[in-house]
Structure 1
Amino acid sequence: MVFRSYGLVSFPSGARGKSPEIAPWLSTLHEWSAWILFGLFALHIAGILFHHVLRRDDTLYRIV
């Protein structure tokens, strides 16, 4: 099976066959990964606000 990305790039998809027995595990892994990524994003936003509003240092300006 070959995956075509907008007709520009083709590469093997890696899916040799469907495995319904691991689908719930992969779904749970996908959900947890999304929440962890969202949490890390929220921590970064909180860090930006902490430095810019509370500490009033120039960290934000050094990043930008």
Structure 2
Amino acid sequence: MDRVDRIRQRAHEIWEREGRPDGRQQEHWDQAVQEIESESPEAERGPVAPDPAAGSDPAANRPGG
């Protein structure tokens, strides 16, 4: 699983944990980036593009979401 996939999965987990609220996708994405970066070795860190699913909750690109 690449870094963006891990971030997307974490953002989805955050979204679910918070009760699946609408309109907070960027907040969840940013939080996921911070969490993943804090877990990753320095060599894996680097710039991350904004959520490729901008405009929808992280679950929008997941089956059953």
- TM-score normalised per structure 2: 0.29
Structure with the bigger RCO (C-alpha within 8 Å, sep 6+) is 2
User: What TM-score, normalized to structure 1?
Assistant: 0.30
Q: Which protein has the larger Cα radius of gyration, Structure 1 or Structure 2? A: 1
